């Protein structure tokens, strides 16, 4: 019996993972991760790093972050408390969906995760206060391989659901895309 429903999104490789809950009068049980089952969805590397974040203010934006090869990573992003609008942007050179984005609402209540493969930038906006996320990464963070796009870049035209309430100085300073940006190798 599989514990996940896997749904493709318009961006090849980005998958919406719905955790199946087994519920009774005590509450629920759900499988958060299963290497065997999620390998079929595209997360085939071992989990190398797990990160936990808390974003306090509604409307806050984090991202859009990625890692350059050879440190590129798959991410499985889940919201443990609160609700977010989670976004993946295709940066794969030559992809038919290059620079297109896809967003999903992740929340503690909907038991949904977003699987974001190598070659994508990732960011999110909090839809309420005190949103907690858990990220499973297939590779450890490498500062020298860090890359980012500006979440306000008009070339991306991301339809963020709320006005930006808070963005770090670092994220606000990420560059806009120029004609010289050719994406990440596939």
Domain ranges for the chain = 4-172
Residue 78 φ then ψ, to 5°: -135, 145
Question: CA-CA distance, 92 to 61, in Å (whole number)?
Answer: 23
pLDDT of 32: 83
Q: Which element (helix H / strand E) includes 35? A: helix 35-39
Which residues of the chain have a pLDDT value below 70? 1
Over residues 130-147, the pLDDT tens digits come to 999 999 999 999 999 999
Catalytic residue list? 65, 135
Q: For residue 33, how many other CB atoms are within 10 A of its CB?
A: 18
- CATH architecture for the domain at 4-172: Sandwich (2.60)
pTM for the model stands at 0.94
How much is the pLDDT for 27? 86
**Alpha-carbon span 117 to 179, nearest angstrom:** 24
Cβ pair 125, 40 in contact under 8 A: no
* Structure confidence at residue 1 (pLDDT): 65
Beta bridge partners, 66, equal 147
What is the rounded CA–CA span in Å between residue 72 and residue 64? Answer: 14
């Amino acid at each position: 019996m599989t514990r996940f429903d896997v749904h493709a999104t318009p961006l090849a490789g980005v998958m919406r993972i719905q955790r199946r809950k087994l519920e009774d009068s005590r509450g629920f049980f759900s499988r958060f991760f299963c290497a065997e089952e999620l390998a079929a969805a595209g997360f085939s590397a071992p989990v190398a790093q797990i990160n936990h974040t808390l974003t306090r203010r509604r409307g806050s934006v984090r991202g859009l972050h990625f890692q350059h090869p050879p440190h590129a990573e798959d991410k499985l992003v889940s919201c443990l408390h609160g609700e977010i609008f989670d976004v993946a942007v295709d940066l794969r050179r030559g992809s038919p969906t290059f620079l297109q984005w896809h967003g999903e609402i992740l929340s503690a209540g909907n038991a949904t995760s977003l699987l974001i493969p190598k070659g994508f930038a990732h960011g999110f906006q909090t839809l309420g206060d005190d949103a907690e996320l858990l990220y499973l990464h297939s590779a450890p963070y490498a500062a020298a391989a860090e890359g980012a796009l500006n979440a306000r870049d008009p070339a991306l035209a991301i339809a963020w659901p709320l006005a930006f309430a808070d963005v770090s100085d670092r994220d606000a300073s990420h560059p806009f895309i120029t004609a010289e940006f050719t994406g990440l190798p596939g």
